[in-house]
Amino acid sequence: MKKYFLTVITIIMFFFNNLAKAEYEKIFYDLNIQSITGEVIDFKEYKNKAVLVVNTASYCGFTNQYEELQELWDNYKSKGLVVLGVPSNSFNQEKKNNDEVKEFCEVNFNINFPLTTITEVKGDSAHEIFKWAKKNYGKSAVPKWNFHKILINKEGKIEDTFASFTKPMSGKLIKKIEAIL
């Protein structure tokens, strides 16, 4: 029992020490990505704002979360929150091209928050954002499925991550957002 207890304590200490040691050679605002219409989204434009990065997909069981993401954007953009949708086919559930994704989002969910091009979110071919998130926050920042959420604070560092099952308007996520705004 004592050996088990020491093992658990060691694992917990390792986990918390790794989170605390995030060195952030770069912060979120040092990065950029291409928008769904082809322009570069320079995250310096989001400096001093909180950003919710969500990898999305058109054919996923969680696709209806687009509705709550739009609601979140509508409710909090004036308070300093940016909702950033990152369409991805990393889980083989996205449309074939950016124009189809854009039309799908606008027609079905009236989306007007920023969307990126279709982007890889996991593995060696993941976009720099997701590699940066993993490096600085660990495996919990790596999307395990569509509609994974990464909350960036106003300092450009990861505040928290949320699994696909966490709805955008959930009390847990709203509480975190309001705390950093």
Q: Which residues are catalytic?
A: 60
71 contacts 103 by C-beta, under 8 angstroms? no
145 contacts 115 by C-beta, under 8 angstroms? no
Strand-strand pairing, 50-56 and 149-152: antiparallel
32 contacts 129 by C-beta, under 8 angstroms? no
Chain position carrying tokens 């083989």? 92
29 contacts 43 by C-beta, under 8 angstroms? yes
Please list, in sequence order, all residues whose beta carbon lies within 8 angstroms of the beta carbon of residue 29, skipping any fewer than 6 positions away.
43, 44, 46, 47, 156
33 contacts 129 by C-beta, under 8 angstroms? yes
13 contacts 44 by C-beta, under 8 angstroms? no
Task: Give the single-character DSSP code of 87.
Answer: E
